[in-house]
Amino acid sequence: MTRIFDATTWGAELCAAGDDVLAGEVSLREESLRRKVAFYLDAEGLPLCQSSCDPSQWHPTLVTRMTSVVVSHGRAVVSIDAALPLHSSILDIAFPGAGSGGSMMDITIVDLSRHRRTLHAEVPSHLVVTGTIAVALSPVGSALRTAPSGRTVGIG
């Protein structure tokens, strides 16, 4: 089964390539291993270090590493090595490098600040701690969003 990544959700053109996810020619799994820190994808799919981005900038895709994974009783709790923007919700997730063939379940993402967000999505049957996770974000409330043209627009 081929995974479809809707650009309106993910903000950049993403495609599945075997077990990996590509943004253009950039392997999200390889880039995550190379950087070892969280990064966003810009509208062209190019990586931007999360720590170098101004908090007022909005990027809909965050790629980071998992630090803990617990799957039990049809639920998963995944801790990540990044802080999610405070005024954001999670639209979708992907696990580059984890393979396919999993189950749909409630997944709670716990960020570095211990904030939690839950969604219902597919979890691969074999997740590895320190594996890569890609998170599609959506602004909520009065968050600002950087439009693909580079100009900032208000949301909410």
DSSP 11-51: SS-EEEETTEEEETTEEHHHHHHHH-S-EEE-TTS-EEEGG
Determine contact, residues 67/130, Cβ cutoff 8 Å: yes
Nearest-angstrom CA–CA distance, 127 and 75:
13
Pick the residue with more confidence: 3 or 46?
46
According to the model, what pLDDT value does residue 127 have?
Answer: 86
Would residue 92 count as lying in a domain?
yes
Q: How many domains does the chain have?
A: 1
Would residue 156 count as lying in a domain?
no
**pLDDT at residue 124 greater than cutoff 50:** yes
Would residue 104 count as lying in a domain?
yes
- Identify each DSSP E strand in 73-131 by its residue range: 75-80, 88-94, 102-110, 116-124
Tell me the residue range of the domain where 43 lies: 4-137
Would residue 120 count as lying in a domain?
yes
Would residue 127 count as lying in a domain?
yes
User: For residue 35, which of 63, 15, 57 has the smallest C-alpha distance?
Assistant: 63
**pLDDT at residue 55 greater than cutoff 80:** no
**pLDDT at residue 125 greater than cutoff 50:** yes
Average pLDDT, the chain: 87
According to the model, what pLDDT value does residue 156 have?
Answer: 38
Unique residue bearing structure tokens 């802080």: 83
Tens of pLDDT, residue by residue over 30-48, are: 999 999 899 999 888 999 9
Would residue 146 count as lying in a domain?
no
Tens of pLDDT, residue by residue over 6-37, are: 999 999 899 998 889 999 999 999 999 999 89
**CATH label of the domain that carries residue 80:** 2.40.37.10
Determine contact, residues 21/1, Cβ cutoff 8 Å: no
Would residue 144 count as lying in a domain?
no
Would residue 116 count as lying in a domain?
yes
Pick the residue with more confidence: 92 or 58?
92
| b/e sequence 70-102, b meaning 16+ C-beta within 10 Å | ebeeeebbbbbbbbbbebbbbbbbbbbbbeeeb
